[in-house]
Chains A and B, each alone.
Chain A
Amino acid sequence: GAVVSQHPSWVICKSGTSVKIECRSLDFQATTMFWYRQFPKQSLMLMATSNEGSKATYEQGVEKDKFLINHASLTLSTLTVTSAHPEDSSFYICSASQGVEKLFFGSGTQLSVL
């Protein structure tokens, strides 16, 4: 199957700093990428849908100024958690669409904000 690379896999930062997470489709072009947040023992919560070359579409309740998404190319989308606080600590996962019914996930990023 197609490979989606997500980095970093684990990051610890101080409160107030910003953290950038990268999501890359390694062997295919992804016009659409998705970002999710997952709390322990819970399901995936869709945060936003990212389309290459256009602004991301955020789900209700997700602060777009807090979670900046940039889909600059067909193989790269980034999520920047700005001015991170302890409540932003979570597991963040991206996915990339290779086409209809072809959704592949990254390996996730565990963010811990001290």
Chain B
Amino acid sequence: GENVEQHPSTLSVQEGDSAVIKCTYSDSASNYFPWYKQELGKGPQLIIDIRSNVGEKKDQRIAVTLNKTAKHFSLHITETQPEDSAVYFCAASSTGNQFYFGTGTSLTVIP
């Protein structure tokens, strides 16, 4: 089955700096890669996703890149703000119905 690894597990950045979270996957059939943000005591919320026919996608301060050959994808947050502090999960799916999650990254943005 699919194995998704995520790094780093914790990340602290100064407000205004950029944050990068990286994930790798093992199943070459995976073709959909969403990213979720989970705030304390809440469920994960989809923030951005990318499909395997696209190399990069951007939505305001958030961007995701995908390297199919290397089987890795990354989340980039620019101009970080304190409200970006949360746990971020990457996921991979080949069917669009079954999702495999990374282990999460706890991001802290220091004011």
A residues with CB within 8 A of B: 1, 4, 6, 9, 32, 41-44, 49, 93-95, 97, 99-108, 110
Contacts and interface: CB of A to CB of B under 8 A. Distances in A.
Interface of B: 32, 34, 36, 41-46, 49, 51, 89, 93, 95-99, 101-104, 106
A8 B88 CA distance: 24
Contacts of A97: 97
Nearest 4 pairs of A and B residues by beta carbon:
A100-B96, A105-B43, A101-B96, A43-B103
A110 B43 CA distance: 11
6 contacts: A42-B104, A43-B103, A100-B97, A101-B51, A105-B45, A108-B43
Given A32-B97, A43-B89, A103 B102 contact: no
A110 B41 contact: yes
A43 B45 CA distance: 14
Nearest to B100: A46
Contact of B42 (A94, A102, A103, A107): A107
Contacts of B89: 43-44
A105 B104 contact: no
Given A100-B96, A101-B93, A103-B34, A42 B43 contact: no
